[in-house]
Amino acid sequence: MMAEEGAFTKIWEQFAANLKNGWSWSGFERSVMFMNDGDANFTNIANVIGLDQVTDGRSIISVDIDNDGDLDLIGTSSRTSPHLYVLRNDFKTDRHHLFIELHPEKRKNPEGSKLLLTTDDWTQRRDVALGYGYRSQPSLIQHFGLRDNTIVDKLEVTWPGGEVQVFENIPVDQKIILRQGNKKWKSVAHKEHNYNATGRLATVNWHKFWDKLQLLSHPYVKLDFTDQKALNVDEPLNFATGWEEYERDSTVTVVNLWATWCANCRREMPDLVGADLDTSNNIRVLGICMDEDKTDEQILTAIKDWGIEFPVFHYDAEARENLLNIIAPLLSAQGGLALPTSLVLDADGNCRAILQGAIDIENLELYLEQAAFERPSDAEQAVLGADL
């Protein structure tokens, strides 16, 4: 009996270890998705589209999250707390479709509505429901796949109260909004399809937000490190010595604001260290520790533990306040300072971009390949002086 109890304990220990390593509660089950070829033959395509996961699948819904005319997938896979993943559909297709958004009278949602859509091939039905799987709800906008049909001959809508309306000759490849009692529909065009959305970055536009990287339309203020002492270098960097006097072998400096308590700061640090050591990318990194209650010795311990090899400044309260005042206009649109934050400076110390959140070095390098960091004109310099 004792041997059986010991074996049972070992089984549960192994089971707990499997769960800790990301295995499903049910063992070696994996998420699957079956594609119907139209002749009642089904093929599992989960491993092709990225749905093949070992975590416990709770539910999955389809919705056009980017309004480009195709259905994307949102799923939950967790045992104890919500864990969402999104699979955006970027597959190219020449098939047609129609999205339908219903607005009943005196109701907040179209729950209970029924739709019958008829083309010259066949009739499809959709029932509007709220519940769909575990802790999930499908989109209330109904989607119809139409294959090669370019027109919807008839759409019959049964509203929640029982009233029936019929709409005819509806163009495809769009979303239409139907209001109960109104014989006309409103057409809503889709955005450009994301056929190539998984590709990286077209041309840089300084007035646009791409990902979390805000590119500035003109060079911003210089950052001055004259009165600050770096913790792990003999002499601090200094961007305040003037255009001609200051020379360096890199074209871009990433000024990384971090703190010892910031988990995301520590997570991104290996990428920053690697970027600083890589001599081919013309990027230098320097850090500013924003801790208010740590000594230099404690910061140095963190520098060693985190493997930081680039210069780090530990700002006192006055210097920290001055820095925040300088970069405040850059942070206002993003809700104030959140760590980590990185400032991208050109070779003369002018801030040209700001990134809040964990940095993506590969993404940043792609931007820098397309962005020419040139010396500001005299007019721009005057604007910078006015900003100060």
Q: Residue 75's closest CA among 101, 53, 92, 45?
A: 53
166 Cβ contact list (under 8 Å, min separation 6): 154, 155, 156, 157
Burial class (CB in 10 A: 0-12, 13-18, 19+), 16: exposed
- Spans of all domains in the chain: 24-87, 96-188, 209-387
Q: Are 245 and 238 in contact (CB under 8 A)?
A: no
- Tokens 């000759």: give the residue: 169
Rounded Cα distance between 97 and 190, Å, is 11
> How many CB atoms within 10 Å of residue 157?
23
Q: Are 159 and 127 in contact (CB under 8 A)?
A: no
Q: Which amino acid would we find at residue 362?
A: E
Fold for 209-387, please state it.
Glutaredoxin (3.40.30)
Partners of residue 186 on adjacent β-strands: 177
- Tokens 């092709």: give the residue: 48
Check residue 269 and give its pLDDT.
92
Check residue 238 and give its pLDDT.
43
**SS3 state of residue 18:** helix
The string of DSSP codes covering 113-173 is -EEEEE-SS-EEEEE--S--STT----SSEEEEEET--EEEEEEEE-TTS-EEEEEEEESS
pTM: 0.49
> How many CB atoms within 10 Å of residue 206?
12
φ, ψ for residue 93, nearest 5 deg: -150, 155
Is the Cα dihedral 335, 338, 340, 345 positive or negative? positive
In 3-state terms the chain splits into helix, strand, coil percentages (rounded to 5) of 20, 30, 50
235 Cβ contact list (under 8 Å, min separation 6): none
Residue-level pLDDT, tens digit, the chain, 388 residues: 445 557 778 888 887 877 776 666 666 667 788 988 888 899 998 877 778 776 777 788 899 988 889 999 888 876 555 577 788 888 888 899 999 999 998 877 899 999 999 998 789 999 998 877 777 888 899 999 999 999 999 999 999 989 999 999 999 999 999 999 999 999 988 887 765 554 443 444 433 334 456 766 566 666 666 555 666 544 444 443 333 333 445 578 888 999 999 888 998 899 899 888 887 777 888 899 988 888 888 888 899 899 998 888 887 788 788 888 878 777 755 557 888 888 888 777 778 788 877 777 777 776 676 665 554 455 544 444 433 3
Q: Residue 337's closest CA among 367, 353, 357?
A: 357
Rounded Cα distance between 190 and 175, Å, is 7
DSSP 231: S
To the nearest 10 degrees (0 to 180), the angle between helices 263-277 and 361-370 is: 50
Integer-rounded Cα Rg, in Å, for the chain is 29
Rounded Cα distance between 100 and 152, Å, is 12
Cα dist from 246 to 238, 276, 343, 347, whole Å: 8, 19, 19, 9
300 Cβ contact list (under 8 Å, min separation 6): 231, 232
Fold for 96-188, please state it.
Immunoglobulin-like (2.60.40)
Check residue 168 and give its pLDDT.
95
